[in-house]
Amino acid sequence: MAIIDARLRENVHLLGELLGDTIRAQHGEVFFEKIERIRKGAKAARLGSADGARQLEETLGGLSDDELLPMTRAFNHFLNLANIAEQHHRVRRRRPDELPPFEDGVLRKLLERLKTENFDQEYVARQVAQLEIELVLTAHPTEVSRRTLIQKYDAISAQLAARDHSDLSTAELAEIELHLQRLIAEAWHTEEIRRIRPTPVEEAKWGFAVIENSLWQALPNVLRHTDKVLSSSTGLHLPLDAAPIRFASWMGGDRDGNPNVTAAVTHEVLLLARGMAAELFLRDVESLITALSMQTASDELLQHTGEAAEPYRELLKGLRERLQATRDWASAPREPGSSEPAAVLRDNRELRQPLELCYRSLHACGMGVIADGALLDTLRRATAFGLFLVRLDIRQDSARHSAALSEITEYLGLGRYDQWDEGQRLEFLQRELDSRRPLLPPHFQPSEETAEVLATCRVVAQASTESLGSYVISMARQASDVLAVQLLLKEAGLQRAMRVVPLFETLEDLNNAGPSIERLLSLPGYRQRLDGPQEVMIGYSDSAKDAGTTAAAWAQYRAQESLVEICRAHQVELLLFHGRGGTVGRGGGPAHAAILSQPPGSVAGRFRTTEQGEMIRFKFGLPDIAEQNLNLYLAAVLEATLLPPPMPEPGWRELMDQLAEEGVAAYRGVVRDHPGFVEYFRQATPEQELGRLPLGSRPSKRREGGVESLRAIPWIFAWTQTRLMLPAWLGWEQALKVALERGEGEQLKTMIRRWPFFTTRIDMLEMVLAKTDAAVARRYDERLVSPELKPLGDDLRDRLSQALAVVLGLTEQSELLEHSPETLEAFSLRNTYLDPLHLMQIELLARSRHQQNPPESPLEQALLVSVAGIAAGLRNTG
């Protein structure tokens, strides 16, 4: 019996048929019949049919070179269309007899629960208003779809929404289907893969487009919903200046390992953001000028406009002129630090004041229903986005700061900073931070690398406070890393406090995070330079790559616990910044469950996290989808604040210590210690070929070398393509197996039932294991791996089977995701289209490695399309 909703099946079938018509029109009936034979063969083969497997092999093997690209494209497009249908299904119109989506009711149910647990309602309302959730949009190279295709996908989704009415006439349905046919044809005749890598500025523009096309509408809708639910539950409203959710960005500010992000780029992106914000608010204000034609106004407003016939319009026309001036000024080329014309808006209060004045006047004159419409939405945007749209973070590797200071100290005849111990560094840094004289003479001529570090600091010093978020130090290890940045910023002329944030990434650094922050907070004068809370970033990607997810997850948890205690003892507020990715191997997973599994006390009304790559599109690309995800964030942070999870019992801690120890040993025993591992990885996966995929502006490697030199994203992306998903589970199989052999199965099951941290880890492990496929991974080995390395592949697949067995035993299921049959069926349907893509990719990899083809050749293009298709089908890249 079919489990997937009939309406979803109908939409998938319709989009598939329209794609088929498009392909027939270009390539003919014979080619389309080959697609159908491959699809049916893959479906039968999945069900165990030898005839189906033979049909699949024969049809794929019979493809000519010039058929490989259109065939790969066909399966890639179908998987993207299936994604569109699934996304639309999440936000489709509900019939009167249907329950609303979980996301729509999650806050209401939480507030009801808080009421039954006798929370003071005024306190609850105050907590909602004071929430500080900041989602940081990043441009990691995981978005494989071109922006032009994304726009067509959004238009297809809009047509599915238009079709979602029961009272449409036959003619209206036909018109919608014709529009869908055109859009699918446009997508089919558009290249999927960029010819060149995007620049950091282009990445920033992509992020701004997500705000313009989705979040600009979604955020005020979420706050309107929050206000309605809050008022219904507590009798209190969300204050006008509340901004429980904000956005920041790394696009144009993240220079860690990316030489393309320069001080000039950061300056340009700051101006672009300011220009985009002015343009978006200008559109809002133009609409308000049209709408607010009424004549009655309060004395307060009339004091600003005089006896104007249409006082609201008169007031807002002045704001319109200043927004136009701001947009035009931000769009004109100039040098950093150049003065702004008087008409340019500089402070968010200048934007809010006339809007608030209109709002108060309308309410005072009995027109509150008008005030609480589009004007209220614009006010909410003014608070959340403001004149600078997003707060831009700066990120740089600690080694670059150390190298710059070494050059400076050597020039000054003090020796080399990078050769000093921690005590010497701190003594020097504190002395210079307290000094009133400049550190550098005007005639100092730095190297190119040091000049770039200093130029970035000058851009930070000259930028508006509201335009910047935090300065994040990747690979931070000790207190001096933070003071080094503070000194460089001071030398550049920064005269205000700025959050300087250590990012602890490796297992060792996570274990040392608490002592590092303890020392930092104990330093004389540091607290005076602290801007608000002490922010600390927890790295998920690199810690998992370093130690495996078992040990990394536990180290992340313990680091947070330690930081909570240390900041509490020092009476300093703590803000934890979670560097999560979209995949399990990078700390990904459902945001709601992830937040509720954090250590008690670690959220406390504040939550900052990265939203990376293609996950931005999946979670925030469409307004309705964005609303659902923002609702989840808001409810989860409130729940984690007011109803934190229980402290783990001592026995659970001891067992988790043992699991982490076993897990890291098993993980590193393969990844670091096996002499053939790096070569096997490069042969069995498309890792080398991914470097040719123009995904993002950042290089795939930090430096030349083995696995340790790879960024976490291509490391995970490569394993995802082969369905082994190695980084997400390696280590768990051994850790759990040994624990079961020690007779600790019942305690593990208790931890799954009662400890949210462990529950979430096992749930995420089960989800990723459900996406693995040992048979597919074996096919890559059979075709691509040299004979002497094949035993390693056998060993890894054996470990995968062990992981599957222990998870099934612990969850007491006969198959993974038995509790979620709809998800299982969705995976099954996708495999029908993924299997041919995997087989074509294997063949293309073999041909590509046998003979070097130019990047524009059809075979190379087909290989890159297969990468995009598999990523789309699994909804995972890096």
Q: What CATH number corresponds to the domain at position 409?
A: 3.20.20
Residues 359 and 401 in one domain: no
Residue at 464 is within a domain: yes
Is there a single domain that holds both residue 454 and residue 370?
Answer: no
| Mean per-residue pLDDT, 238-251 | 96
Q: Which of 488, 567, 490 is nearest to 532 (CA)?
A: 567
| pLDDT tens profile 834-876 | 999 999 999 899 988 888 777 778 888 899 899 889 988 887 5
Residue 159 lies in a domain: no
| Residue 148 within a domain | no
Q: Within a domain: residue 601?
A: no
Q: How confident is the model at residue 102 (pLDDT cuts 50, 70, 90)?
A: confident
Q: Are 712 and 579 in contact (CB under 8 A)?
A: no
> In 3-state terms, the chain is what percent helix, strand and coil (to 5)?
65, 5, 25
Cα-flanking dihedrals φ and ψ of residue 579, to 5°?
-90, 70
Hey, which residues does 574 pair with through a beta bridge?
A: 534
Q: Supply the pLDDT for residue 709.
A: 57
Cα distances from 265 to residues 204, 258, 269, 337, 613, in angstroms, run 10, 12, 6, 14, 20
Residue 454 lies in a domain: yes
Residues ≥6 apart with Cβ < 8 Å to 330: 271, 272, 274, 275, 278
Q: pLDDT digits over 36-91, tens only?
A: 999 899 889 888 899 988 998 889 888 888 899 999 999 999 999 988 888 888 88
| pLDDT tens digit sequence for 175-206 | 999 999 999 999 999 887 777 778 899 899 98
DSSP state of 58: H
DSSP structural state of residue 535:
E
Is 377 part of a structural domain of the chain?
Answer: yes
Q: How do residues 318-377 score in pLDDT, each as one tens digit?
A: 999 999 999 999 988 776 667 789 999 999 999 999 999 999 999 999 999 999 999 999
- Backbone phi, then psi, for 302, in 5-degree steps? -65, -25
Q: What is the pLDDT of residue 509?
A: 95
Reported confidence tier of residue 782, pLDDT bands at 50, 70, 90: very high
Task: Report the domain count for the chain.
Answer: 3
- Amino acid at site 290: T
- State the average pLDDT over residues 490-505: 94
Tokens coding 517: 């922050």
Tally Cβ neighbours within 10 Å of residue 276: 24
- Structure confidence by residue, pLDDT tens digits, 269-302: 999 999 999 999 999 999 999 999 999 999 999 9
Do 697 and 784 fall into the same domain? yes
pLDDT, one tens digit per residue, over 385-397 is 999 999 999 999 9
How far is the C-alpha of 358 from the C-alpha of 353, rounded, in Å?
9
User: At which of 549, 565, 586 does a domain end?
Assistant: 586
**408 and 382 in one domain?**
no
Based on the fold, state whether residues 382 and 409 are members of the same structural domain.
no
Residues 428 and 467 in one domain: yes
For position 584, what pLDDT does the model report?
37
- CA angle 201-207-213, nearest 5°? 130
215 within 8 A of 247, measured Cβ to Cβ: yes
Determine how many CB atoms are found less than 10 A away from the CB of residue 794: 11
Which of 819, 847, 868 is at the close of a domain?
819
Per-residue burial over 533-547, b if 16 or more Cβ lie within 10 Å, else e, is bbbbbbbbbbbbbbb
The reply to whether 230 falls in a domain is no
Q: Which residue, of 558, 586, 614, is where some domain finishes?
A: 586
* Residue 434 and residue 347 in one domain: no
Q: Which residues are catalytic?
A: 140, 545
Q: Which range of residues forms the domain containing residue 371?
A: 271-388
Strand partners, 535: 575
- CATH code of the domain in which 352 resides: 1.20.1440.90
pLDDT at 698 over 60: no
- Do the domain assignments include residue 10? no
Residues 226-258 as b or e (16 or more Cβ within 10 Å = b): bbebbeebbebebebebbbbbbbbbbbbbbbbb
**pLDDT beyond 70 at 687:** yes
HEC sequence for 199-229: CHHHHHHHHHHHHHHHHHHHHHHHHHHHHHH
Per-residue tokens: 53: 């497997």
Determine the Cα–Cα distance for residues 780 and 785; give it in Å rounded to an integer: 7
User: Which one, of 247, 202, 170, 41, lies nearest residue 836 by Cα?
Assistant: 41
The span from the CA of 559 to the CA of 553, in Å, is 10
What are residue 473's DSSP bridge partners? 396, 502
From CA 579, how far away is CA 568, in angstroms rounded? Answer: 23
656 shares a domain with 784 = yes
Q: Is the pLDDT of residue 589 over 70?
A: no
The per-residue pLDDT of the chain, averaged, comes to 91
Residues 576 and 676 in one domain: no
On whether both 359 and 449 belong to a single domain, the answer is: no
Instruction: Please say if the pLDDT value at position 142 is more than 50.
Output: no
Torsion 438-442-447-451 (CA) sign? positive
pLDDT number for residue 586: 39
Query: Is 564 in the same domain as 462?
Result: yes
Q: How far apart are CA 164 and CA 7, in angstroms?
A: 9
Backbone angles phi, psi at 471, to 5 degrees: -105, 110
Closest CA to 578 of 705, 680, 688, 472: 472
Is residue 447's pLDDT more than 90?
yes
Alpha-carbon distance of 14 to 10, in angstroms, equals: 6
Coil vs helix vs strand at 861: helix
CA 822 to chain centre: 25
Do 371 and 424 reside in the same domain of the chain? Answer: no
The bridge status of strand 468-474 relative to strand 574-579 is unpaired
How many whole angstroms separate alpha carbon 617 and alpha carbon 137? 11
Phi, psi (degrees; rounded to nearest 5) at 303: -65, -25
